[in-house]
Amino acid sequence: MGRAPCCEKVGIKRGRWTAEEDQILSSYIQSNGEGSWRSLPKNAGLKRCGKSCRLRWVNYLRSDLRRGNITPEEEELVVKMHSTLGNRWSLIASHLPGRTDNEIKNYWNSHLSRKLHYIRKSHNVPAVTMNPPPTSQRLPEKRRPGRTSRSAMKPKTHKQKTRKTKKTSAQPEPDANVAINAVVGQEALMMELSGAEADLGPRDDYYYGACHERGDCCNTNNNNNNNLMSINGDNGVLSFDEHDIIDLLLDESDPGNVFTSSVGDGELSPLGDSTLARGSSETSNLGYLDCLQPCRSVESFLNYEHQVNDALTDEFIDWECVWQEGNKSNKLCDEKEASDPVMSWLLNGDDEATIGQTNCEKFGEPLDHDEENALVAWLLS
């Protein structure tokens, strides 16, 4: 049998809280403190579930909550942290004073994913479908010890919730709950922002390389090495290799060169020269992605919907801002030069000779609490 419900279902009021209930709850917590949520409703004289009381307090009644719109700075921080941490809303929110995980989560789902959807739609680009590698090769969710993130939980195969079909366009991305996929999704976004996809012509196995050194890429599995992502077959499905994404994160090239392109025989050359025309006909050479250019600022991404009418000639997000914080040394693949302690940890490998492999493997390992805190501190630095 399943576990007992957190509270009696009968006689429990649900739905919106009234001002009177808020007052009762606030008064009770102020005089008795937080905690003991299960017994709180009874003691306080509320006909509410303990969890509901806790949620109301945490998300609404707490005195230290910050009201008002998310500021651009907060937005940028959310994007930055989400690109690294994934849907770790509570962790993200904990570094935004006065903001709750619910608030951040809602903001992400309503604002930022909508922008992503809008961009894709405006380019008439097929939905990006993640094609994750086998589980054994998948980058695990960064996690702290203890509580397991929902995204790391087993798939819900036992009871698929019947969902009311909503007409909203703000549906979350298919795999948005995996940290690396958040990065991948943003990669796709960036591609779309760049207009690259629209210029690819018939989709037939384009490869966007990410690694700079031939043959030493982390992945040794599906597809060829050095493939960051590919568009397969007739369905226009993009598939990604997380290890190459990590390589991208660790790219030691010029920070401006976010993307590299495969120039025959697996040879890679940096892209991102802003002198390259984006979306021009010359960019449609089959198999080569020559039209990507670096983006300049997170703000420009966040303001994309205000710019979309400008024929896509504006500059977009500078993903260095998102993931190259630690790349300031421009030598992240070189452990010797990764003086930043967090980056040293990220790149930690006992055998420096195999760092190219080791760093990617370390990326996949779970974080302990200290490591995670260090990562967050580094992100915020």
Partner DNA sequence: AAGAGGTTCAACCGCACAGAC
Partner DNA sequence: CGTCTGTGCGGTTGAACCTCT
Helix (H) or strand (E) holding 92: helix 89-94
**Binding flag, residue 106, DNA (CB under 7 A):** yes
Evaluated on CA atoms 91, 93, 95, 97, the torsion sign reads negative
Q: How far apart are the C-alpha atoms of 27 and 14, rounded to whole Å? A: 20
Of 260, 246, 258, 272, the C-alpha closest to 209 is 260
Closer residue to DNA (CB): 85 or 196:
85
Neighbours of 339 (CB within 10 A): 10
373 binds DNA (CB under 7 A): no
| Closer of 70 and 250 to DNA (Cβ) | 70
Q: Does 151 bind DNA (CB under 7 A)?
A: yes
Q: Which is nearer to DNA, 49 or 180 (CB)?
A: 49
User: At closest approach, how far in Å is the CB of 177 from DNA?
Assistant: 3
Contact set for DNA, span 173-192 (CB under 7 A): 176-177
Choice between 161 and 264, CB closer to DNA:
161
Per the listing, tokens 């012509």 go with 201
By beta-carbon proximity to DNA, the closer residue of 58 and 276 is: 58
Q: Is 237 helix (H, G, I), strand (E, B) or coil?
A: strand
Residues 221-224: contacts with CB within 8 Å, 24+ apart? 221/133, 221/134, 221/137, 222/133, 224/266
Distances (CA, A) of 118 to 44, 94, 185: 46, 29, 14
CB of 9 to DNA, least distance (A): 7
Q: Residue 327's CB: how many other CB atoms inside 10 A?
A: 20
> Is residue 158 within the footprint of DNA (CB under 7 A)?
yes
| Interaction of residue 15 with DNA, rule CB under 7 A | yes
Q: Does 156 bind DNA (CB under 7 A)?
A: yes
Asked if 163 is part of the footprint of DNA (rule: CB under 7 A), the reply reads yes
What 298-305 contacts at long range (C-beta under 8 Å, 24+ apart), as own/partner pairs, is 298/75, 298/76, 298/79, 298/80, 298/322, 299/72, 299/76, 301/79, 301/115, 301/189, 301/193, 302/72, 302/75, 302/76, 302/79, 302/112, 302/115, 304/115, 304/118, 304/119, 304/193, 305/115, 305/118
| Residues in region 45-104 near DNA by CB under 7 A | 48-52, 54-56, 59-60, 87-91, 101-103
Residue 260 C-beta: closest distance to DNA, Å: 31
Q: Choose, by CB under 7 A, the member of 27, 32, 43, 110 that binds DNA.
A: 110
If one asks whether residue 33 binds DNA (CB under 7 A), the answer comes out as no
Q: Which of 62, 95, 105, 296 binds DNA (CB under 7 A)?
A: 105
Q: Is 32 in the site for DNA (CB under 7 A)?
A: no
Q: Tell me the closest approach of the beta carbon of residue 345 to DNA, in angstroms.
A: 21
- Contact between 37 and DNA (CB under 7 A)? yes
Nearest residue (CB) to DNA, 125 versus 218: 125
Binding of residue 11 to DNA (CB under 7 A)? no
CB 233 within 8 A of CB 223: no
Indicate the residue among 105 and 296 with the shorter CB distance to DNA: 105
Comparison of 161 and 234: residue with beta carbon closer to DNA: 161
